[in-house]
Amino acid sequence: MATPVRVRRLTVGVAVLLVALGVLAVVARLDAPDDGTLLWFGSSTWSSGGAVVDVPEPVPGPGLRSGDTVTAIAGHRLADGLGAVPVPRPGETLEYEVEPGAVRPVRIDRAAVGPLLGAGWGDLVFVLIFGVLGFALYLRRPEEPATAPLLLLAAGLFGSTLTVVAGLPVLALAVGGPRLWLFHVNVIGSYSVAWGALVASSLLFVPGHPWLARRRRVVLAAAYAGPVGFMAVWAAGLAVAVDNPMRRLGLLHGTQTVVTVVSLLVSAVSIGIAYRRTREPTMRNRLRWVAGAGAAGAAAGIAGWTLPEMVAGAHPLPPGAFGLTGLPFVAGVAVALRRHRLFDIERLVNRSLVYATVVGGLVALYTAAVALLASALRFSDVAAAAVAAAVAALVLAPLRATVQGWVNRLMYGRRDDPAGALAALGSRLHDVLLPDEVSATVVETVVRSLRVPYVAVDVADGAGGLRRAATHGTAVAPVHVEPLLHYGETVGQLHVSGRGRDDPLEPADLALIRSLAQQIGPALLAVRLHNDLVRSRAEVVSLREDERRRLRRELHDGLGPALAAIGLKAGLAARAVPAGAPRKLLDEISDEVRASLADLRRVVEALRPPALDELGLMGAVRRRAAGLGGELAIDVRGPEAEPGLPAAVELAAYRIAVEGMTNAARHSGGERCTVSIEVGDREVVVEVRDDGRGHDRGSRPGVGVRSMHERAAELGGACTVRSADGAGTVVLARLPLDVGAPR
């Protein structure tokens, strides 16, 4: 369902408002006087009498230290009310009361940006990358339902995180003013909007979510407005019911944490339900990427920050790096966008991945270099920053090239490495064991080499046409058709789809496809020649057996009776002739006729088993099974009506069935053997199964097993013999009925 235009405008308006509120809060924070403290909004920050402060850069002297609980400023107790102290001027010194009853002078000055950035750089990196991704998604695909909540989520996190990184000094509680209420509007209001958008995006991420089947608008409205409405009602209730402002702030921020956790859990449950209900493979892969990346980020955040704070009240890792735990989620969304075509914006994702990785790497390198130079080598802050910036500038180009190559490999395969793609195709074709697997190997290799969603191969059928030999995936964009040639002869066609509506095949892709086609053409020609050889041999075998059957009938029904009649007449004539030379000559004629009949009978039996023509396939197999019976009970199953099979197929089925029964009777040592003959529209399936002891895998096949393989292969079929120690033996032969026809 496309997003209506008015909803898009409202979404953009709310997103702009959220970002503007964050920027205003930062401006108000930096323009107001500062005492060098920061308030962290965890469970251990607030008490009924004051607030626990963090001091990123403590100054020498009796000033404040991290962990101090400030209860009063300039003689005004924080528990008595907020905003009662006049705004101090920069350079002025105020007295801060710290539990238990100590008074410490604190110099008021302008806020220093460096310590704030050092404390929250990880959060800024995350919201910046996620904000660019969310904005670009909405810009390229505004009609997609999931992009609107993603934009609100990115905007809400961006504005509120800017405010959190700018921080709130404890002085702001005593002074009040725009800085204080702008801070809470962002930290409470914007965050609540973001968490509501997160729940809505989890519902709209998969088309047809079960929760939206009925009352779609009501459910989405509840998702968007739930966190905001609850926090608004809760804040109003606290304003009426709680007199102590410090206790009120503690309850307010503590409840915000609960809302955050509940929103994350609801989103996770929503994704899980969508994953269980959907059966579409592409959508399930999308959900796996997003859910897995989100779980990885959540686990890192819980292990590195949340759990240690709950248990020990401290963070083993820098608090400012907490935002980096969200990068796996951004990466998961980006990979889902590319690999499983969430919104068809592959080029955008390529650039986003490259710039996000480069920015993250440069920030980490810059931070590490500054820390090393300042702490280990005793550089000044300015010198350390300058040297670190120079190092970052030097590694920017090679880092971007390396990351671009890695991302291109992830998204476009070996497009930039045609030699590697050709080598991979040659290696895969070299490892192919059966000619019928060549086409499937070709499409699989092309898919891997180009990272495209659809590849198909057509081969020439020898009659001037083409037939589909193998395919992979579904076409989602215009399909490029590349002819497969060998010495100017068309042996097939290669069909390759673009990666998406916004990502068609580029010249580099087409160049690689042409290079691959130069190897694929000869491979397909070799397969066609092999199939032609198999078909020709099958035709020869079929014609031979048809001619043998005709000859047997002619000899059995024509020449045989004629010779028998000649012998009978010669015998009758000999009885009428008195003893002497003429009678002796007639007796010799009778003997020669009987010898010729015996020779003729041997020739007829050598052409085809007589039982096939006398009893048919099923009757002949049953007669042979009765002759082999004894300790081994043989059960023959097949069609009641005698199937009219080609002579070659009938003979091969009979020989394979008899050979399988004979091997079972002689070597299996079992008690039962089942012979099954099934005649389908295109093939005859012969199966001989016994419950004997089987044979060792390392044993060499005997003459009978090789004979069965050869008889099936002559017709273009296949015969397999499976056996395991103590599990019996299974002979399975598939004989095509269209002997000699193109396959």
Position 427 in a domain: no
- Of the three residues 327, 342, 357, the one that is the final residue of a domain is 342
Say yes or no: 627 and 560 in one domain.
no
Closest of 138, 136, 144 to residue 342, by C-alpha: 144
d(CA 510, CA 64): 67
| Residue ending a domain, choose from 288, 314, 342 | 342
Q: Mean pLDDT over all residues of the chain? A: 77
| CATH code of the domain covering residue 653 | 3.30.565.10
Task: Answer for the pair 31, 236: CB distance below 8 angstroms, yes or no.
Answer: no
Residue 443 pLDDT > 70: yes
Q: Pick the residue with more confidence: 366 or 234?
A: 234
Q: What is the pLDDT of residues 481-499, one digit of tens each?
A: 888 887 777 788 888 887 7
Residue 508, in any domain of the structure: no
Looking at mean pLDDT, say which of 143-152, 328-337, 444-453 comes out highest.
143-152
Are 597 and 634 members of one domain?
no
Q: What is the pLDDT of residues 615-650, one digit of tens each?
A: 888 888 888 888 886 778 888 998 877 777 888 888
Q: Using a pLDDT cut of 90, give the percent of the chain over it.
A: 3
Based on the fold, state whether residues 560 and 595 are members of the same structural domain: yes
Based on the domain organization, do 38 and 160 belong to the same domain?
yes
Structural domain contains residue 246: yes
Question: Are 603 and 671 in a shared domain?
Answer: no
Mean pLDDT of 1-17: 76
DSSP secondary structure code for residue 3 in this structure: P
Q: In this model, does residue 687 exceed pLDDT 90?
A: yes
Provide the total of helices (H) and of strands (E) in the chain, helices listed first.
21, 16
User: Does some domain include residue 16?
Assistant: yes
User: Residue 463 domain-assigned?
Assistant: no
Is there a domain that residue 33 lies in? yes
Same domain assignment for residues 226 and 127:
yes
Whether residue 153 sits in one domain with residue 282: yes
pLDDT of residue 249: 85
Whether the CB-CB separation of 603 and 621 falls below 8 Å is answered with no
Question: In this predicted model, which residue has the larger pLDDT, 322 or 79?
Answer: 79
Over residues 514-543, the mean pLDDT reads 73
Do residues 549 and 680 both lie within one domain?
Answer: no
Average pLDDT (182-208) is 87
Nearest to 201 by CA among 156, 165, 163: 156
Total tally of structural domains belonging to the chain: 3
Q: pLDDT tier at 581 (50, 70, 90 boundaries)?
A: confident
For residue 518, is pLDDT > 70? yes
pLDDT band for 320, please (50, 70, 90 cuts): low
The amino acid at residue 283 is M
Helix axis angle, 346-371 relative to 381-412, nearest 10°?
150
Single residue among 342, 363, 378 that ends a domain in this structure: 342
564 and 621 both lie in a single domain: no
Q: Which residues pair with 109 in a beta bridge?
A: 34
State yes or no: pLDDT of 743 exceeds 50: no
Q: Which among 331, 11, 290 has a CA at the least distance from the CA of 142? A: 11
Q: What angle do CA 647, 652, 653 make, to 5 degrees?
A: 100
Shared domain for 94 and 71, answered yes or no, is yes
Cα 33 from chain centroid (whole Å): 53
Domain of residue 164: give its range. Answer: 5-98+106-342
Do 595 and 629 share a domain, yes or no?
A: no
Lowest mean pLDDT among 217-221, 313-317, 399-403: 313-317
Condensed to tens digits (0 to 9), the pLDDT of residues 50-105 reads 888 888 777 777 788 888 888 898 888 888 888 888 888 888 888 899 988 888 88
Contacts 24+ apart (CB under 8 A), 377-385: 381/114
Rounded to whole angstroms, the Cα distance separating 145 from 252 reads 32
Tell whether 566 and 692 lie within a shared domain: no
Residue 343 has pLDDT above 60, yes or no: no
pLDDT digit string, tens, across residues 128-173: 888 887 887 787 777 778 788 888 988 998 888 888 888 888 888 8
Peptide bond into 145 cis (omega under 30): no
Cα separation, 352 vs 345, whole angstroms: 11
The reply to whether 294 falls in a domain is yes
In a domain, 296, yes or no: yes
